[in-house]
A and B are shown apart, each in its own frame.
Chain A
């Protein structure tokens, strides 16, 4: 499973509240990614990190921020959750040749 954990695994929250999702890896990989997955849209990149304190936006970054203060942790924050952010969120790391990515177990988020 590439040593990736995500927490929480399930969360229900209310519109307007901040939410932070955590991705933790144990193998010191440099690159980490946050995706969301919705029916009809596949996997879409939110943000990614290429090192401690080095991050960049993906295709659906509006309403999200990230932080990486340690190699092993990559945090995704929904600054003020909206119902459109109800989704399944996956974290991934890049390892090995050819930019291969491996995914964590996912977090199911429901924003009421």
Chain B
């Protein structure tokens, strides 16, 4: 059974601080990894994906991948109240043609 696990939170971070979200996955045949943001009552929207070990930066967001340890993380710098949402991690395995999602971490940024 391929699994993707996230701490459901809630994770509370003060405005302007760095929010760190983590995701672990159970299988070493993974190919690519995705972070989605979902506001309450809305659909998930893609933040970024990563497929190579190391860091990938996009604006205030940095994804970090460590395949040996089977985890992927998302850092949000200079957190804003508008970053308050649920963040979903998803993993694609080779040949699977589909993503497996974690349960999501609810993040609250406190002004």
Residues of chain B with a CB closer than 8 A to A33's CB: 98
B43–A103 CB distance below 8 A: yes
Query: In the bound complex, do residue A103 and residue B103 qualify as a contact, i.e. CB atoms below 8 Å apart?
Result: no
A68 to chain B, nearest CB (A): 15
Known: A42-B88, A43-B88, A58-B98. A105 touches B49 (CB 8 A): no
Q: Is B43 touching A104 in the complex (CB atoms < 8 A)? A: yes
Q: Is B97 an interface residue (CB 8 A)?
A: yes
Q: How many residue pairs bridge A and B at CB < 8 Å?
A: 53
| Docked complex Cα distance between A71 and B101 (Å) | 25
Nearest-neighbor residue (CB-CB) of B43 within chain A: A103
Q: Among residues 27 to 44 in chain A, which have CB atoms less than 8 Å away from a CB atom of chain B?
A: 31, 33, 40-44
| A90: interface (CB < 8 Å) | yes
Tell me which of A56, A58, A90 contacts B44 (CB under 8 A).
A90
Kindly state the separation between the CA atoms of A103 and B90 in the bound complex, as whole angstroms.
13
Chain B interface size band reads 20 to 34
A42–B43 touching, CB < 8 Å: no
- Asked if A98 and B32 sit within 8 Å, CB to CB, the answer is yes
Contacts of A99 in B (CB 8 A): 31-32, 92, 97-99
Using known A-B contacts A42-B104, A43-B88, determine if residue A90 contacts B46 with beta carbons closer than 8 Å: no
Q: Told that A31-B97, A99-B99 touch, could you supply 17 new A-B pairs with CB distance under 8 A? A: A33-B98, A40-B103, A42-B103, A43-B88, A44-B101, A45-B98, A45-B100, A48-B97, A58-B98, A90-B43, A98-B31, A98-B34, A98-B92, A99-B31, A99-B98, A103-B44, A105-B42
